[in-house]
Amino acid sequence: MSNSAYDQLNIYGEHFDSRLLIGSALYPSPQIMQQAIQSSGADIVTVSLRRQNSVSAGEDFWQLIKETGLKVLPNTAGCHSVKEVITLAQMCREVFKTDWIKLELIGDEYNLQPDPFGLLEATEILLKEGFKVLPYCTDDLVLCQRLADLGCEVLMPWGAPIGTGKGLINTYNLKTIRERLPDLTLIVDAGLGVPSHACAALELGYDAVLLNSAVAGAGDPVRMAKAFSHAVEAGRMGYVAKAMPEKEVAAPSTPTMGMPFWHQN
């Protein structure tokens, strides 16, 4: 694919070649994490300040992330209230020197579903404080519309609950969001398990996918990261190429009329 702005991922005016965002948690070792991130071809890596408990371990972790050379997208993973989210976002901006924030606000511990009410409240506050908010949300059209109305330029609806690997459980909802919000950057975040799930998301017209568990939890995270990078590229190329229309009846791929017949002597 070319490197024109049209073909690149656009996040709040910044353009990236890769349409795969990758997480940095749950890998078997720091070295495998670094190798998998590099193998993915991603330009953006998500990190969680809250998940780093030890100061010394945290410093080692940040050094590994810096060595990747990727754009850092801090997240508010593990937060359950608006106050927690705001405080952590402010800390992330100070630590990572970025106004980007992947906003996660969990409302239910069973399926880790985002709290839609708190999400709207926190998004409004953070946008007013100058953050570029990337909210992680469900595939609810009205919620996505409200987030867009607040000023979000990027939304991150889930494919399925975090860590389930179930893929795109409601393609109708995802397609509807894409059709109704054509000018927003949409990234499927959470629930993807295999490369074909990522390919399907890009074929729906989504701009990118964000992965963590699907890569970190694989038997071979480095190889799986590479597989996802190919799947994302294939899905995007398929979407841009425009698929043939579906038909209710079979149609021969090779017409018989007007075709030459080969004669044997």
Residues involved in catalysis:
102
- Cα–Cα distance, 103 to 124 (Å, whole number): 11
| Residue 159 assigned to a binding site | no
Residues 6+ apart with CB under 8 A from 245: none
Q: For residue 90, give the DSSP letter.
A: H
| Residue 41 assigned to a binding site | no
| Residue 48 assigned to a binding site | no
- Cα–Cα distance, 10 to 16 (Å, whole number): 7
| Residue 167 assigned to a binding site | no
Residue labelled with tokens 């948690």: 25
Q: Measure Cα distances from 103 to 65, 114, 132, 225 in Å.
A: 20, 10, 10, 24
Q: For residue 163, give the DSSP letter.
A: T
Residues 6+ apart with CB under 8 A from 230: 195
Residues 6+ apart with CB under 8 A from 13: none
Residue 63: burial class (beta carbons within 10 Å; 0-12, 13-18, 19+):
exposed
| Residue 111 assigned to a binding site | no
Outline where DSSP puts E strands in 116-175. Answer: 132-137, 154-157
Binding site: what residues are annotated?
A: 163, 190-191, 212-213
Binding site for 1-deoxy-D-xylulose 5-phosphate: what residues are annotated?
A: 163, 190-191, 212-213
